[in-house]
Amino acid sequence: MDKNDILSLLKKVQGGDVTPENALLKLKTQPFEDLGYAKIDHHRGVRQGASEVIYGAGKTPEQISGIAASMLKNGEKTILITRMDKNAVEYVKKNHDLTYYDIAKVGIIGDMPAEKKQGRIVVASGGTSDMPVCEEAALTAEALGNDVVRLYDVGVAGLHRLLASLDILMQARVVIAVAGMEGALASVVGGLVDCPVIAVPTSVGYGASFQGLSALLSMLNSCASGVSVVNIDNGFGAGYLANMIK
């Protein structure tokens, strides 16, 4: 249930189609559903503007399918599943209309929102190896109703590749800059655009990159204003945050 559903319910009460008592009962039973292995937060869309997302890692196929069934029963049209193991895909597909994106390890049940929010989110990557994290960010933003443009392999080792897309960057509402190694892409993009930049360090790199720690520290120490940083490899967090920025 989201804000529009509650507003619709209140209008039905106003019009006499639903009694106040029945409306109260519906609201009281909506906040969460206890499945034993999970408590599904059906009011997250009301509080935060976006429905609960299923984190697939560590969950069994049966648990993922059960959580999705609960969400669908309560009116969810688009369900996002991140870090979804391939072993769970076939099982969930037997029970739900699932589309699986292998590179990102993301599953989406239902259709992507047809109506797009104003402005574009640009997802830019330092290298091709950063694509799994980029795609997690891009698909998250798209599942939340955003128009997303992908700019891949535009890292600082060949700066002309990034500069060739300045028109796209400068028209963005938000830029998600995804990079491993030394993570310099975020600072460069932050010095070029007038919109918020969300930096995503990845675990791509050789030994001294410390599985993304080097990129994380570089991004946290960016001299460009307006750059925020999410956790290592956290494409979902970046896509979700970008959706919240108007």
Range of the domain at 231: 120-244
How distant, in Å, are the alpha carbons of 187, 192, 218 from that of 227? Answer: 8, 12, 11
At 93-145, the pLDDT tens digits run 999 989 999 999 999 999 888 878 888 999 999 999 999 999 999 999 999 99
Same domain, residue pair 52 and 163: no
At 54-103, the pLDDT tens digits run 899 999 999 999 989 988 887 788 999 999 988 899 999 999 989 999 99
End-to-end CA distance of the chain: 22
On the question of pLDDT at 172 being above 60, the answer is yes
Mean pLDDT computed over 35-63: 77
Same domain, residue pair 152 and 236: yes
Same domain, residue pair 145 and 216: yes
Same domain, residue pair 174 and 78: no
Residues 6+ apart with CB under 8 A from 92: 61, 64, 65, 68, 81, 98, 107, 109
pLDDT at 240: 94
pTM of the model: 0.83
pLDDT at 16: 86
Lowest mean pLDDT among 4-13, 16-25, 30-39, 192-201: 30-39
Same domain, residue pair 104 and 128: no
pLDDT at 43: 61
Same domain, residue pair 99 and 125: no
Query: What's the number of domains the chain is made of?
Result: 2
